[in-house]
Amino acid sequence: METNSYSELKEQLLTLEQIKNPSKWVSEAIYKLRIELKKIENQNRHLSQIESAKNEIELIKSKYKDLEIIYSINEKKTSTQPTIRIPQIDTGVRVVTHLSALNKDYTFKKPRSFVFNNSEYTSFINSFGQKINIKDWKDILEGVCDKMQELHPNEINRVLNLRGRTRLYFAQSKSQLSSLEARNAPRRIKNTNIYIETNYPANVHVERSYQVIELFGHERSELNFITYQ
């Protein structure tokens, strides 16, 4: 299991807390993170002071809503300042954001769901009427494409512009797909005749999902993934 810094764990918690109607495992992760982070804060005076300062500043920001208050809180470094040891916290899940996805290898990471605009999707009904419970990165890409079709039905053909030098990433006929795997087990964007090339490693599926939402004017920050810890 990966070791996290205090700030990374806080960021994970903040992202999870923003999810509307979270799944059971996300709710459990939020509960565990809150308890463990509180323990860490109580054991470390510096972290406790930072948290108190943030809360006080947030109160000031809420009081003066017409002002844009930007602040930075940094610890005063001293020679006697203790090293903060963060215990490993097994929450069962980990959040993959557009920033943490950079330079990461997700080959052996299994996704549980994707989060778009703070709504979590653990499953979807595919173009063949089957319920797909998300369990691999191919499911993620298909689910993200279906979501874009739902939001932008008249513009979904934009995905056809995503292509490599020698192969298509999306095609209007499964026979046009490059890999035998994709042709034999076709995945099609819901309510379209657009097929998805899926014979790629996990990291490519992550990047392709971000590329797809960008085609429709969305920011990468709008899309997160929940993986097994």
Same domain, 137 and 217: yes
Boundaries of domain holding 224? 93-228
Q: What's the whole-number average pLDDT of the chain?
A: 86
pLDDT value at 78 more than 80: no
pLDDT value at 50 more than 60: yes
- Confidence category of residue 104, pLDDT binned at 50, 70, 90: confident
Same domain, 67 and 119: no
pLDDT value at 4 more than 70: no
Of all residues in the chain, what percent are helix, strand and coil, respectively (each to 5)? 40, 15, 45
pLDDT at 107: 83
pTM over 0.85: no
- Confidence category of residue 6, pLDDT binned at 50, 70, 90: confident
pLDDT value at 74 more than 80: no
188 vs 197: CA distance, rounded Å: 9
Q: DSSP string of 62-130?
A: HH-TTS-------PPP-TTPPPPPPPP---SEEEE-TTTTTT---TTPPEEEEEETTEEESEEE-TTS-
Tell me what the mean pLDDT of segment 67-72 comes to.
82
Cα dihedral 35, 37, 42, 44, rounded to 10, equals 160
Same domain, 156 and 219: yes
55 versus 160: the higher-pLDDT residue is 160
Q: Which residue, of 56, 91, 126, is where some domain finishes? A: 91
Q: What is the pLDDT of residues 162-205, one digit of tens each?
A: 998 888 999 999 898 888 888 888 999 999 999 999 989 999 99
Same domain, 52 and 99: no
Q: How many separate domains does the chain show?
A: 2
Q: What is the pLDDT of residues 79-97, one digit of tens each?
A: 555 555 555 667 777 887 7
Tell me what the mean pLDDT of segment 10-39 comes to.
90
Neighbours of 125 (CB within 10 A): 11
Same domain, 87 and 98: no
Structure tokens at 3: 């070791």
From 53-62, 107-116, 147-156, the region with the lowest mean pLDDT: 53-62
